[in-house]
Amino acid sequence: MSLLARLAPHLPYMRRYGRALTGSQTTGDQYVRVALEALAAGDQTLDSRLSPRVALYHVFHAIWCTSGARLEDRVPSDDRDASQRLMRIAPRSRQAFLLTALEGFTPSEAAQILDTDFPDVERLISQAQNEIDAELATDVLIIEDEPVIAADIEALVRELGHTVVDIAATRTEAVEAVARKAPGLVLADIQLADGSSGIDAVKDILGRYDIPVIFITAFPERLLTGERPEPTFLITKPFQPETVKAAIGQALFFHPGRTAKAA
């Protein structure tokens, strides 16, 4: 089996991780591409002692650590606000937090990826969470047609200190909700109750407002296509509560135009 065939199942998720880590699709994809080029050229190898996925992320972080800020320096100007905001969280803390909360690695696996130990990973995660929690709360629109799932997401959002301004089950309801009150964050499903698309609803919303969006869907393949634009934040159903919390924190942290909740 070729190297690409072995790694192919993991690449969409590593690209998702790269975008979340850097706050930019452009920069995240650059890191993934450089990591794959290093493997193909033999400059990096997969550690046979690790699972293929853990080994792949280990290579990614080797590239991250050796490149410094050089890839970020080549990010187009429209991505620079996100890159600057990214620097508020120390890189190691950000990595540990995303590896466990967003990518689903255990702390032990994250320690292998980061070449550290379990206690250090737990310390790094705690540091990142404290910094993210210090960010301003915001108003949230949920686009979800399943009442039970919508209620679960609403509870998570409120637990983080945000306000849910509306829950929309269709594209039309979503657009009407935004017309009543512009949110600071949108959490959107793809397939909605009346057969309409959450993707189209989000396009309608983003045509009027600069709002961070997190897709929560059972159909990630519809968005992780390798074509632009892609969502920076994508969660697969069934989801873990900590994954949603992590994505919300990262989306609000990175987005330069996020809207704080009114006092």
182 and 72 together in one domain: no
Where in the sequence is the domain holding 38, given as residue range(s)?
Answer: 3-132
- The single residue listed with the structure tokens 């990826």 is 113
Q: Specify the pLDDT at position 80.
A: 44
Rg (CA), the chain: 18
What string of DSSP letters covers 24-84? -HHHHHHHHHHHHHHHHHTSS---TTS-HHHHHHHHHHHHHHHHTTHHHHTS-GGGHHHHH
66 and 36 in one domain? Answer: yes
For residue 82, name the pLDDT band (cuts at 50, 70, 90).
very low
Residue 121 · residue 113 · CB < 8 Å: no
User: Where a domain ends, among 83, 112, 132?
Assistant: 132
Count of domains observed in the chain: 2
pLDDT value at position 243?
Answer: 87
How many angstroms separate the Cα of 9 from the Cα of each of 46, 88, 113, 247? Answer: 15, 32, 18, 22
What is the rounded distance in angstroms from the CA atom of residue 250 to the CA atom of residue 86?
9
Residue 169's pLDDT is 97
214 in Cβ contact with 162 (< 8 Å): no
The model carries a pTM of 0.58
How does residue 247 score in pLDDT terms, banded at 50, 70 and 90? confident
| Final residue in a domain of this structure, among 101, 132, 163 | 132
Query: Residue 239: which CATH number?
Result: 3.40.50.2300
Bridge partners of residue 139, in order along the sequence: 163
